[in-house]
Chain A
Amino acid sequence: MENNLSIYNYEFSENKKAKEPLLWIGLVSIIMFFAGLTSAVIVSSTSSTWKIFTLPNTFWYSSIAIIISSITFQLGYSFVKKNNLLLPKLLFISTLILGFTFVYFQYEGLSYLYQQGIYATGNKSTTSSSYLYVLTVLHIFHLFFGIISLGVVTTKSLMNKYNSSNFLGIKLSLTYWHFLGILWLYLFMFLTIMMSK
């Protein structure tokens, strides 16, 4: 199998062209994952034992945080594309801070529920409260990877690794981040409706 045939010397470089579509199709599978879970909520909510309760206010704060974070991230990206490299550093750092703010408010919200006696598991829990915890925690689980990639983007930006001809990494991270924001807003709206039915 020794290949004196191989005039073309193939290197296993990951194909750049393929990275964006890989991300998009990955997002499709995440959408299907949450579609599965939220349709489960709908099916369960038809049960006579479905309990309703109000969602904590802090979910509004976290929603605002994640919306602003999407804006700062987007702005940073546009500046990089225009080769303005200073502002993005600040914007990416703000995005990171806003990301953590989001997680903080989510945590606050869930602890508030817990103090109200609305539990995720155990015999005092109900299916509706379990779903609430499962969905929010799974969203944070996905956000965790978003924060890691945002951290990488911020670091690389601080090290001046990006410019107007090299920004694919930011674009990918940004797409995922926007997706997480939209996913949360969807979940928030969906839960609000289902938990008050």
Chain B
Amino acid sequence: MDITHSEHKHHESFISKYLFSRDHKMIAKQFMITGFTMGFIGIIMSVLFRLQLGWPGEKFLINDLLLGSWANGGVIAPDKYLALVTMHGTIMVFFMLTAGLSGTFSNLLIPLQIGARDMASGFINMLSYWIFFVSCIVMLVSLGVEGGAASSGWTIYPPLSALPEAIPGSGLGMTLWLVSMALFITSSLIGSLNYIVTILNLRTKGMTFTRLPLTIWSFLVTAILGVLSFPVLLSAVLLLVFDRSFGTSFYLSDIYIGGQALERFGGSPILFEHLFWFLGHPEVYIVLLPSLGITSEIVSTMSRKPIFGYKFMIGSILAIGGLSFIVWGHHMFVTGMNPFLGAVFTITTLLIAIPSAIKVFNYLTTLWRGNIIFSPAMLFSIGLISTFITGGLTGLILGDATLDINVHDTYFVVGHFHIVMGLSAVFGTFAGVYHWFPKMFGKMMNNTWGQIHFWITIVTAYGVFFPMHFLGLAGVPRRYYTNSSFPMFDDFVNLNEIISIFAIIAFIGQFIFIFNFLYSIFKGRKASQNPWSSNTLEWTTPVEHIHGNWPGEIPEVHRWPYDYNKPGYEEFIPQNVPLKKGEVESV
């Protein structure tokens, strides 16, 4: 106690500077560290259950070490396998790629790129982080409770989630999942409010909407999607809590447990699916859009060319955001949906291909004949473009009701969404970290290690998820504990082993990143003010962070952010440089 006390005296500002900071740059780092830590835990889970899928029933010492009573004798117990899959999905989608990703880059870049001293409300921003932190703790605690963590999948469909007596994970584990998610939603909502208001109200002089960097556009639409969809999830969760704890029957009807009929009538589990996926689909764009924004920025800067079709990029972000609210039914084609309704959802879903294709086309056209600098950030951005294409193509198949019915709930789906959402978003995150590391820490990350990290990651990532499509086409179902009990899947034993081996290498490869990251914070080369010769405003701030971002006046903006190699002018022209005499603005 004494030590902490005197510590406190010496660093009077430690608490206000590092813990309860209201500075957006510090809050960004907090989100990053917390989100990535959660992501790391989520990835470990996936490697552990991949061991089971690759070598079913085999004993692994690592299971004993990490899972303890969940894996007696080194083999994961069947019900705990489900808990692991559920927690893996929940953590990756929400904690790592929603809060971790948006929390980091929206916080870091919104004020810096629009020319604001800080977020509209530093207090709400701080609150948003700490509520997120508590929700992480609650989710992690749920791993240790009796019966284990929630096990009904990241989509927590009732009745498994609605009846505490349904399966072991439906008890306290599920309750804590709900508590944690309610906190998470609150944090995410108030965070989004803050992002939107900041972008709408605090742009510096001259920063019109057609001069906004595409990062900011994507963060804006992401936040709007959050404000519109998370409340609906909250309402779904609330009704679920009533069903669980107060004896209502919103989602329950004709239920038998152990041959006993329950006195629950009138509800419908399909109702939950509607409410869940009304959030769920926008959620995949909440995960994806920030990465697309980051990529737009990096692709342009690192090709030393203006982004191709800037206004079309904005249009497609808006179109994707809008369409994402009317496609949720494509997750429910097999719920006995009216075929006509199925056709409607098929059409709306396929429509999303148009703005997505526009984005891909524009990325490729920007790269075309650019002076491409293959920095790690650029490599990961190109990686994202690749996964966005390969994952998007299978999306067309799943979006078509007649095709989807054949592969629903198989590994085809797992392959699809990991590539298009998981990998794309993770690649965007890595790209963002490599690119803005100098802005966050004033140091450079090691380039060579970054390159090695990229190549290991992209090869192993495809190695894991590409073969899953074949498993799925052959009918291997998802969320199954083992495939070895079904003779018809015996041909795929080797394929499952190969996938798991790739997963293990992928996991080990990430330590290169972790090492590079930590090493560079302490020992990295000092960054210059504008290491990538970029045009956006964040590079006009001093390398050392200060409150309020700019020591003097906030720079005024005179042009769009993509004046690279403008014919007849300098190689790059930052946004705060006034137009020369006779110069015509590029947009």
A: interface residue count bin: 35 or more
Contacts of B189 in A (CB 8 A): 29
Residue from A12, A15, A120 with most neighbouring chain B CB atoms (10 Å): A12
B181 CB → nearest A CB, Å: 15
Residue B275 CB within 8 A of the other chain: yes
The verdict on A5 contacting chain B, using a C-beta distance below 8 Å, is yes
Cβ contact within 8 Å between A130 and B197? no
Q: How many residues of B contact A (CB 8 A)?
A: 58
Given A18-B202, A28-B227, A33-B232, CB of A12 within 8 Å of CB of B197: no
Q: Check: B236 CB closer than 8 A to any chain A CB.
A: yes
Partner of B231, one of A5, A15, A29: A29
**Given the complex of chains A and B, what is the CA–CA distance between A37 and B247 in angstroms?**
18
B266 within 8 A of A: yes
Instruction: Pick the contact of A18: B121, B231, B246, B267 (CB < 8 A).
Output: B121
- The chain A residue with its CB closest to the CB of B123 is A14
Does chain A have a CB within 8 A of B462?
Answer: no
Contact across chains for B542 and A10 when beta carbons are under 8 A apart? no
Write out the residue numbers on chain A whose beta carbons fall within 8 Å of the beta carbon of B117: 8, 10
Q: Assess whether B249 is in contact with A15, with CB atoms less than 8 Å apart.
A: no
Q: How far is the CB of B438 from chain A (nearest CB, A)?
A: 15
The proximity string for B residues 221-233 relative to A, scoring 1 for CB distances below 8 Å and 0 otherwise, is: 0000001111111
Report yes or no: A22 in contact with B271, Cβ–Cβ below 8 A: no
> Contact between B228 and A8 (Cβ–Cβ < 8 Å)?
no
| Chain B residues, Cβ within 8 Å of A6 | 546-548, 551
Given A127-B249, A134-B239: A36 in contact with B278 (beta carbons within 8 A): yes
* B363 close to A (CB within 8 Å): no
Q: Cβ of B550: which chain A residues have Cβ within 8 Å of it?
A: 8
Interface contact B230-A44, CB-CB below 8 Å? no
Q: Is B552 an interface residue (CB 8 A)?
A: yes
Which of A18, A37, A126 contacts B266, CB < 8 Å?
Answer: A126
Q: Does A117 contact B (CB under 8 A)?
A: no
With A35-B232, A134-B239: A18-B201 Cβ-Cβ less than 8 Å? yes
Asked if B122 is an interface residue, CB under 8 A from chain A, the answer is: yes
How many Å from the CB of A42 to the closest CB on chain B? 10
Task: Give Cα A142 to B213, complex, Å.
Answer: 37
Residues A122 and B247 in contact, CB atoms below 8 Å apart: yes
A108-143 contacts to B (CB < 8 Å): 120-123, 125-128, 130-131, 134, 138
- Chain B residues with Cβ under 8 A from A134's Cβ? 238-239, 242, 248
Residue in A3, A26, A47, A127 with the greatest tally of chain B CB atoms within 10 Å = A127
> Which residues on the A side are within 8 Å of B197 (C-beta)?
18, 21-22, 25
How many angstroms between the C-alpha atoms of A122 and B117 in the bound complex? 54
Q: Are A22 and B544 in contact (CB under 8 A)?
A: no
Least CB distance from B210 to A in Å reads: 21
A46, chain B: closest CB distance, angstroms: 9
Distance in Å: Cβ of B158 to nearest Cβ of chain A:
13
A15 to B200 alpha-carbon distance, docked (Å):
13
Q: How far is the CB of B111 from chain A (nearest CB, A)?
A: 11
A8, A25, A47: the one contacting B227 at CB < 8 Å is A25
- Asked whether any CB of chain A lies closer than 8 Å to the CB of B198, the reply is yes
Q: State whether the Cβ of B333 lies closer than 8 Å to any Cβ in chain A.
A: no
Tell me, rounded to whole Å, the shortest Cβ–Cβ distance linking B242 to chain A.
7
Residues in chain A near residue B544, CB distance under 8 A: 1, 3, 5
Bound complex: CA A121 to CA B198 (Å): 43
- Asked whether B246 lies within 8 Å of A7 as measured between CB atoms, the reply is no
Query: Is A47's CB under 8 angstroms from B551's CB?
Result: no
B361 at the interface (CB under 8 A from A): no
Shortest distance in angstroms between B567's beta carbon and chain A's nearest beta carbon? 37
Q: B274 to chain A: which residues have CB within 8 Å?
A: 39-40, 43
Contact (Cβ within 8 A) B227 A127: no
B residues within 8 A CB of A14?
Answer: 120-123
Closest B residue to A128 by beta carbon equals B266
User: Could you say which residues of chain B place their CB within 8 Å of the CB of A5?
Assistant: 542, 544, 546, 551
Interfacial chain B residues near A131, Cβ < 8 Å: 250
Taking a contact as CB atoms under 8 Å apart, the answer to whether A44 and B551 are in contact is no
Q: How far apart are B424's CB and chain A's nearest CB, in angstroms? A: 26
Given contacts A36-B235, A49-B265, A49-B266, contact A1 B120 (CB under 8 A): no
Answer yes or no: A32 CB below 8 A from chain B CBs.
yes
**Are A12 and B22 in contact, with the CB atoms below 8 A?**
yes
The smallest beta-carbon distance between B458 and chain A, in angstroms, is: 36
- Closest Cβ of chain B to A50, distance in Å, is 7
- Collect the chain B residues with CB atoms within 8 Å of residue A49's CB: 253, 265-266
List the 4 closest pairs (A to B, CB-CB), nearest first.
Answer: A10-B548, A18-B120, A36-B235, A36-B232
14 inter-chain pairs at a CB distance below 8 angstroms, sorted by A residue, are: A5-B542, A5-B551, A7-B552, A9-B548, A12-B118, A14-B122, A18-B201, A29-B228, A36-B234, A36-B235, A43-B270, A121-B246, A123-B263, A134-B238
Other A-B pairs beyond A8-B550, A43-B268, 7, CB < 8 Å: A1-B544, A10-B548, A29-B227, A34-B235, A40-B271, A40-B275, A134-B239
